[in-house]
Amino acid sequence: MRTYDVITVGSATRDVFMRSRAFDAHKDGPAGLECCFPLGAKIEIEEIALETGGGGTNAAATFGRLGHRTATVTAIGDDASARDIMSALKENGVSDAFVQRYPKKMTAYSVIILTGSGERIVLVHRGVSDDISMRRLPWSRAKTRWFYLTSLGGDLKLVRRLLDHAAGIGARVAWNPGSKEIRKGLKRLGPLIRQVDVFNLNREEAADLTGVDATDIKKIFRVLNGLPRRYLVVTDGRKGAYASGPEGAWRSGIVDVPRVNVTGAGDAFGSGMVAGLLRRDELPYALAVGTWNATGVVQETGAKRGLLRTYPGPAKIKRIPLKPWRYER
């Protein structure tokens, strides 16, 4: 018997959001869009919000809110941030049975500087977030229909162990890798991607992984398609997402809403899409659920506040622009 519908694996963080009129982005810097502060300045903050984040707990909150039996594998310290993370898990219906506590270490901590458009700069201290231990995970109790893997600090040994365990119990796997995994390169990640059912990353990450120019989304798909068992998904910010699977390839648009914050939007889309597959194993439906989940998040300050609490009904599903898409030559 499966104890859980989904077990997520990834980071847990304390997120501190700061917004100020002084945080104006400008387009004349080398990176094209920058936010700079003069040294020695004292910046007035108009808004501050204390939230919890991290890919592992953000994804878990999606599944828990939608009524799925959910647990998360993550690592935290023994501090006020850790206690708030545990409270947030409980509030969102997520089991803490696999949370690993490190009493003498610090929970991961992020400061997110928000501009008026919702774009952000993230200052992050990883703390214990990359210290998830295979030895401390009670594998015999980790029985689930799905594993949802997020950034694991480049620990491919842990990824392999999770994939082997999933195969042993007949669980499906979704993987939204972090930058440290992507930097390992396609040669090392390719054999692992072949063992996952859903492989999800954003356009810039896909370009880094494949070595293909980020503007050539069709070539990116030609390189990556066929690696995951079922679905390849590449998100593209305001342009929506591209996906391919047994039903063919699709492009989904977005819902045009005011954006307050984009932090956590990728986590919301990816976990929302898999939540859609849990309910109805159809790619267009799953893309629509993921889009609505991300839509809620970008309208709130914090990566969890705007997550869905119920599945969108037929009328909402129809509002998501979806059309078949071709990437073959």
Q: What does each of the 329 residues of the chain score in pLDDT, given as a tens digit?
A: 689 999 999 999 999 999 877 776 656 554 555 666 677 878 888 889 999 999 999 999 999 999 999 999 999 999 999 999 999 999 999 999 999 999 989 999 999 988 766 677 889 999 999 999 999 999 999 999 999 999 999 999 999 999 999 999 999 999 999 999 999 999 999 999 999 999 999 999 999 999 999 999 999 999 999 999 999 999 999 999 999 999 899 999 999 999 988 999 999 999 999 999 999 999 999 999 999 999 999 999 999 999 999 999 999 999 999 999 999 86
CA pair distance 267, 287, nearest whole angstrom: 13
Helix H, strand E, coil C: the string for the chain is CCCEEEEEECCCEEEEEEECCCCCCECCCCCCCECCCCCCCCCCCCEEEEEEECHHHHHHHHHHHCCCCEEEEEEECCCHHHHHHHHHHHHCCEECCCEEECCCCCCEEEEEEECCCCCEEEEEECCCCCCCCCCCCCHHHCCEEEEEECCCCCCHHHHHHHHHHHHHHCCEEEECCCHHHHCCCHHHHHHHHCCCCEEEEEHHHHHHHHCCCCCCHHHHHHHHCCCCCCEEEEECHHHCEEEEECCEEEEECCCCCCCCCCCCHHHHHHHHHHHHHHHCCCHHHHHHHHHHHHHHHHCCCCCCCCCCCCCCCHHHHHHCCEEECCCCC
The whole-number pLDDT of residue 68 equals: 99
pLDDT at 277: 98
pTM (2 d.p.): 0.94
Amino acid letter, 184: K
- Ordered by where they begin, the domains of the chain are 4-34+42-324 (3.40.1190.20)
Structure tokens at 188: 């090392």
Strand partners, 130: none
pLDDT tens string 312-324? 999 999 999 999 9
pLDDT in tens, 111-120: 998 876 667 7
Burial class (CB in 10 A: 0-12, 13-18, 19+), 279: middle
Angular region, 153: left φ>0, alpha ψ -120 to 50, beta rest: left
Token pair in block for residue 69: 């039996």
Over residues 25-73, the pLDDT tens digits come to: 656 554 555 666 677 878 888 889 999 999 999 999 999 999 999 999 9
